[in-house]
Structure 1
Amino acid sequence: MAKSLLTTSLSARTKLLQTGVSLYNTSHGFHEEEVKKILEQFPGGSIDLQKNQNGIGILTLNNPNKMNAFSGVMMLQLLERVIELENWTEGKGLIVHGAKNTFCSGSDLNAVKALSTSENGVALSMFMQNTLTRFMRLPLISVALVQGWAMGGGAEFTTACDFRLMTVESVIRFVHKEMGIVPSWGGASRLVEIIGSRQALKVLSGTLKLDSKKALNMGFVDEVLQSSDEAKALEEAQEWLEQFVSGPPEVIRGLKKSVCSGRELYLEEALQNERDVLATLWGGPANLDAIAKRGKHTK
């Protein structure tokens, strides 16, 4: 019986990593359509997606009048963009940034005030945890480009990306304690994975202002960019990302899937996933082409 339950649990965990699978459903008390109807009542801003032919997408948080804070409609659009990216088979990389030199100031306070009950808070949490977990599992190498402020939910969003880049004057701050709450979009759990539990506790309980130097020193961000100009910083971010996404899309996407399984699954499941990914690549065009050029790799 115990072995049967373990096998069922392992199967369920593996299934969750499949593209397009939601983290929560009605068995968890999550009713997605009901949450969507609530979020539709709070318009403003947009989540814009540009998919380039080089396989790098640009996701823009666009609500500059409110420092790119998430309205309810923007939360809905984020899920729509994630689903679109799940089906972008030519994609290899993704840059997330905010319009007008600001990353994101979290949730629109108008929506927060209106959704003040515990039930609404939990429903919103499950919706965003689901969306950002699906985002994190995309077979794309993702980078958060932080310009200006990334606060609250905006700071949490950066943790769902594989890498983080900052401009010199930018600041990341988890302000949840000052709002009388805790991170609820998965940001605390992901922060622990990135910088460790001791550092994460300091950042969260101290509501520390992480400037670019401090964030780089603690290993939260990967590089500080030279330019603070919005367009030039975006160009720098693309150049930085290109070193990791050069090559055939199927190989880059396979690598990301393997890393995701290694992070989230038990060893036996992760090893099985590696074999499954390999089966789609071994003897394929990229593999055969690399073998044909083998001599060049040794020079």
Structure 2
Amino acid sequence: MPSKMIEMALPLWKNLVQTTKKRILQQRRLSLYNGADGYEEELIKKKLQQFSGGSINLSKEDNGIGILTLNNPKLMNAFTGTMMVELQERVTELENWKDGKGLIIHGAGNTFCSGSDLNAVKEISNSQDGMNMCMFMQNTLTRLMRLPLISVALVQGKAFGGGAELTTACDFRLMTPGSEIRFVHKHMGLVPGWGGAARLVRIVGSGAALQLLAGAARVDPERALSLGLSEETLPSSDQTRALGEARAWLSHYTEGPAAVIRAVKKVVTAGRELPLEDALRTEKDIFGTVWGGPANLEALVRRPKHK
């Protein structure tokens, strides 16, 4: 009988899932800016692509974990213009990855990211170009943050400036011995522009965020733990071993059916970003995509004991 019940429920469940997924995906891809703000995405991408070098690599594993690698080790994985555009492309790819559950972001060559490539920054130093880059990266990192994947920044070596901002677009941060996160923007005569300040306040509170930004303070693993900026200091600073440790850490949260893990991330995103009534309605919609779904029906048959 249980198999017949599952068979009868699946068509209704699939229709509801598809409708809800379309609506949530449209909301997630909604741009923060438009033409009224002077934001012309294709023109901005064309400008950024003039500054080449490095790459953003993505591998998708069978267990539903993606590995996103910032690959520009000669410049401590600093973002060139083409890397900014490639990051957007990888985020789009991840948005369309239906079986994804988790994401680890790390840098090649035992360091995370030193921010923006200063050669590119010098060439786009006028105000409008800077604003365009700011809007482009804010859009990309907001979409990254809203992915239905549980994301982890694996911080090895240095995460400076824009690299520090990128860590805040992840759900969690893991650090290795000797690593540091540092918002160095003040020393460049700047403030964060990729959304890092707004996200940092939500992670550590306004007082701590003000200290880290105004003091351009070095945040080592111990201080990051005390601030709540990092979840754990991993045992190894070796790149391969640390990546394995990050996978093991993330597996505690991604174990189970992709539909359920993704639903968990979606309700948390809604609770964080939406007014309460809208968050409750969104939670109801997402609940409907898993209620009566395969994992739910199988659990009812199995009757798991909770200890």
Q: Does 1:52 align with 2:55?
A: no
Could you tell me which residue of structure 2 aligns to residue 6 of structure 1? Answer: none
User: Are 1:145 and 1:165, in contact at CA under 8 Å, matched by a contact in 2?
Assistant: yes
CA 1:15–1:90 in 2, change beyond 3 Å: closer, same or farther?
A: closer
Cα root mean square deviation, aligned: 1.2
Distance 2:34 2:255 in 1: 37
Could you tell me which residue of structure 1 aligns to residue 305 of structure 2? Answer: 297
Superposed CA deviations along residues 59-90 of structure 1, whole A, max 9, x for unmatched, are: 00000000000000000000000000000000
Q: Does 1:222 align with 2:231?
A: yes
- Write the letter of the residue equivalent to 1:132: L
- Write the letter of the residue equivalent to 1:297: K
- Write the letter of the residue equivalent to 1:200: A
Could you tell me which residue of structure 2 aligns to residue 74 of structure 1? Answer: 83
Match of 1:209 among 210, 215, 218: 218
Match of 2:252 among 238, 243, 246: 243
Aligned-residue offset at 1:24: 1.9
Could you tell me which residue of structure 2 aligns to residue 118 of structure 1? Answer: 127
Distance 1:21 1:193 in 2: 21
Superposed CA deviations along residues 177-229 of structure 1, whole A, max 9, x for unmatched, are: 00001000000000000000000000000000001111111111000000011
Could you tell me which residue of structure 2 aligns to residue 171 of structure 1? Answer: 180
Could you tell me which residue of structure 2 aligns to residue 94 of structure 1? Answer: 103
Identity of aligned residues (%): 62
Aligned-residue offset at 1:15: 7.1
How many correspondences in the alignment?
A: 285
Could you tell me which residue of structure 1 aligns to residue 164 of structure 2? Answer: 155
Aligned-residue offset at 1:279: 1.1
User: Are 1:60 and 1:96, in contact at CA under 8 Å, matched by a contact in 2?
Assistant: yes
Gaps (5+ residues) in structure 1? 1-13
Distance 1:254 1:264 in 2: 15
Q: How does 1:37-48 map to 2 (within 5 A)?
A: 37-48=46-57
Aligned-residue offset at 1:17: 7.0
1:68 is paired with a residue whose SS is: coil
Aligned-residue offset at 1:28: 2.5
Superposed CA deviations along residues 207-254 of structure 1, whole A, max 9, x for unmatched, are: 000011111111110000000110000000000000001111011111
- Write the letter of the residue equivalent to 1:222: E
Distance 2:162 2:57 in 1: 18
Aligned-residue offset at 1:26: 1.3
- Write the letter of the residue equivalent to 1:262: G
